[in-house]
Amino acid sequence: MKITIRLIVSLVIVVALVALAFSLYQVNRERDRLAGDLERRSLILAESFQESLAPLIQSSGDLRLKRIVDRFGNRERLKGIVIFDRQGTVITATGSLSLNAKRPSAQAVNTILENRSVGNFLTIDGQQTYVFITPIAEENNEAVGALAMFYDSSYIDVHLREIWKHNLIQFMILSILVVFATVLVVRWSITGPIARLAEWMRDVRTVRPDTTGCDVPLRGDILSPLVSEVTELAQSLSIARKRAEEEARLRLKSESLWTPEGLKEYMRTALKGKKLFVVSNREPYMHVKEGRSVKSIVPAGGVVTALDPVMRICDGVWVAHGSGDADRETADVDGKVRVPPEEPAYTLKRVWLTKEEEDGYYNGFSNEGLWPLCHITHTRPEFRQEDWICYQKVNQIFVEALLTEIESEEAPLVLVQDYHLALLPLLIKKERPDAKVALFWHIPWSNPESFGICPWRQEILMGMLGADLIGFHIQFFCNNFLDTVDRFLESQIDWEEFSVRRGEHRALIKPFPISVGFDEGIVGPKEPQDRATLRETILKEIGVQATHIGVGVDRIDYTKGIPERFRAIERFLEKYPEFVEDLTFIELGAPSRDHIRKYRELIAETEEIVEKVNRRFQTRKWKPIVFLKALHSHEEINRYYKAADFCMVTSLHDGMNLVAKEFVVAQSDHSGVLILSQFAGASRELRDALIVNPYDIEEMADAIKSALTLDVSERRERMRRMHTIVKEHNIYRWAGKLIGELTHVRLADE
């Protein structure tokens, strides 16, 4: 209301000033016009006297003068006439004139002397009077007297007052119109939209379900610049509310939901302003050349999937091997680059390795030695002395890169990732005993017998035990690890606390089941299409006609059970021929570690099986397996997850397997079915999946049949339960628990 009043007052003042100026101008002009009129009339009258008056004054014909004066002295508005002699003395005057008018006049003398007429407005006896004095001249133009005419000029004032009155009325009408127009415009364009906006915001605040679409009721209004801001605000509010509801719900179950915001807040307290340092072999963003340009890609694998969302929140430095062919040109002289490229949130520090170092450390010792050693997949580990030397050397290179980064950091928190860097914890502690170091082992830990075949088992165990905290995905791997330490190292094991003490140092061994983010699940699917439309689009893209889709997403690795999966598809079609031309299984396989013979052989074997199965069953418009061998982005993969009727995770041995969890997250409509290997760590949490033994082809074929024929309500109920589990046990919880535990670790000298 205040703004309306202010607007009205300002407009009325402006109108008043304009009206006043205009009226003054008009009144002045009118006064001048009327005065001119009187003067003209006086002159005409005077001229008509002139000739007869001069001789009469000369001859002192007072009587005749008196008669003339009386005859002319009572015309319209002419109150009277006075005739003066040369000295300004009254010779004769109209009788009805007041005495004041009949006095000798200096003005008359001046007129005679200057021989020119003059007109003035005077108040005589309280009456507005126009007095016109003109000289009376002889033929030789010499003035012999003066003639004064007295007009009643009060009609001019009356007329001017009329003008004022008239303009005042105009001003008042104008003001009323201005008030009306202002009120209407303000209401339509300002207070109306604001009121609608306020009502809509109240609805959003008080959760009227139909407002969650966040459609602001303003279009093309004066407030439209606010629309996008307010929409964003409403969306954030809606997300925050959903999260708060989740939190409240879970709080009742005495565990609150970990969210990006929650983790951020938690980290602020736990890290007390310190940065977080992550060290891993694989970098989260790799720059590669594509023709003349450079593009950034996200490598496949659990480490990146899990830790990138955490680092985006916590900031800090991630030290990793720069393995992209455009990595050097995109980093600074220290090998640093801010990532993610599209929205930088933390620093990636790249470590450079020679081809020989990469061969010995990564392809050799890590992936031909430790990888098969830890995975029981009947692939024989190969241990070569030169690889081991390289492995030690590269661990040293990584530690040096890290030490530079943590140089100025007091009691830094370091998260070392995976089997490539088993020696790092001890190397860090030797230089920086004040650092709190956690090692997270992303792959399984088999058992003492299997591990025992490694010629450098003690060095590896000692390197790992340099950490204050060692994390595995599940308790089973922790047990295996302690058994192994017990078997091969002189140490003090506390089975109750699950720790290993060597000298002054104590390492805690704990399970931290890794997971994925759950933002999308909370906010709702980003993919606007429904499952059927999406499925149709994808089938069109791959050029196949089918009714159902199954999906597999893997880094092409012999631990993932990909050939076994395809054999199960073959058996399924053999056993249930009614699904021929009905189901197409799409495998999104990212090539990996292709410098290792086993991996190249695996790709060849996989392609061979695909070809065999397709040749056996395919028809003109349909084929059973589509093998898309490429690195797919998370967005692309997500489309397949959302379109698929089921997903197959058939690892022969797997630490956790995040594909299983990603698929669950993508099922916002709870419709898909997960077929999951009993040998993947994820099977401990996702008990509502169809759990299979990937070595049992018959069982897997039947699981595919179940996935396609499960009762809708059971399918939904199973997925809903898994959805809740992954939502609650998400990556933010993993990071919060791991880092929280690390910050609580007490170092020997504390």
- The site for ligand F6P (CB under 6 A) is made up of 282, 301-304, 418, 442-443, 555, 592-593
Q: State the nearest-atom distance from the C-beta of 239 to ligand F6P, in Å.
A: 29
Q: Which residue has the tokens 């093309």?
A: 220
Cβ atoms of 683 and 708 closer than 8 Å: no
Select 101 or 443, whichever has its Cβ closest to ligand F6P.
443
CB of 475 to ligand F6P, least distance (A): 19
Is 501 in a helix, a strand, or coil?
A: strand
CB of 692 to ligand F6P, least distance (A): 21
Q: Minimum distance between the CB of residue 286 and ligand F6P, rounded to whole angstroms?
A: 10
Q: Give the nearest distance from C-beta 367 to ligand F6P in angstroms.
A: 6
**What are the tokens at 366?**
């890590």
Q: Which is nearer to ligand F6P, 555 or 733 (CB)?
A: 555
CB of 199 to ligand F6P, least distance (A): 51
Residue 139 is given by DSSP the state: T
Distance (Å, whole) CA 133 – CA 43: 9
Distance of closest approach, residue 650 Cβ to ligand F6P, in angstroms = 16
User: At its nearest, how many Å lie between ligand F6P and the CB of residue 282?
Assistant: 4
Of 308 and 702, CB closest to ligand F6P:
308
Give the whole-angstrom CA distance, residue 120 versus residue 122: 6
> 371 or 646: whose CB is closer to ligand F6P?
371
Nearer to ligand F6P, 421 or 534 (CB): 421
CA distance 115 to 136: 9
Distance of CA 227 to CAs 184, 230, 342, Å? 23, 5, 25
Q: Distance between CA atoms of 238 and 592, rounded to whole angstroms?
A: 41
Residue 41 CA to residue 78 CA, distance in Å, equals: 10
Taking the least distance from each CB to ligand F6P, the nearer of 375 and 432 is 375
Looking at beta carbons only, is 312 or 593 nearer to ligand F6P?
593
Closer to ligand F6P by CB, 230 or 353: give it.
353
Lookup result for tokens 């996200």: 298
Q: Do the Cβ atoms of 311 and 278 come closer than 8 Å?
A: yes
Using a 10 angstrom Cβ sphere, with 0-12 exposed, 13-18 middle and 19 or more buried, the burial of residue 203 is middle
Q: Is residue 210 within 8 Å of 200, Cβ to Cβ?
A: no
Shortest separation between residue 197's beta carbon and ligand F6P, angstroms: 48
**Contact between residue 380 and residue 372 where contact means Cβ atoms under 8 Å apart:** yes
What tokens does 650 get? Answer: 């058939």
CB of 218 to ligand F6P, least distance (A): 47
Tell me the residue type at 215.
D
Residue pointed to by tokens 């830790």: 307
| Backbone angle region of 356, left / alpha / beta, with phi > 0 → left and psi within -120 to 50 → alpha | alpha
- DSSP label at residue 327: H
CA 579, CA 584: separation in Å to the nearest integer? 9
Residue 287 or 555: the one with the smaller Cβ distance to ligand F6P is: 555
Q: Smallest distance from the beta carbon of 304 to ligand F6P, in angstroms?
A: 6
Closest of 644, 553, 579, 569 to residue 612, by C-alpha: 569
Residue nearest to ligand F6P (CB): 301
Q: Which is nearer to ligand F6P, 283 or 468 (CB)?
A: 283
| CB of 81 or CB of 303, closer to ligand F6P | 303
Q: Quick one: 45 or 415, whose CB is closer to ligand F6P?
A: 415
Amino acid letter for position 37 = D
- Separation CA 217–CA 196 (nearest Å): 7
Distance in angstroms (rounded) separating the CA atoms of residues 478 and 508: 10
Supply the minimum distance, in Å, between the C-beta of residue 253 and ligand F6P.
Answer: 31
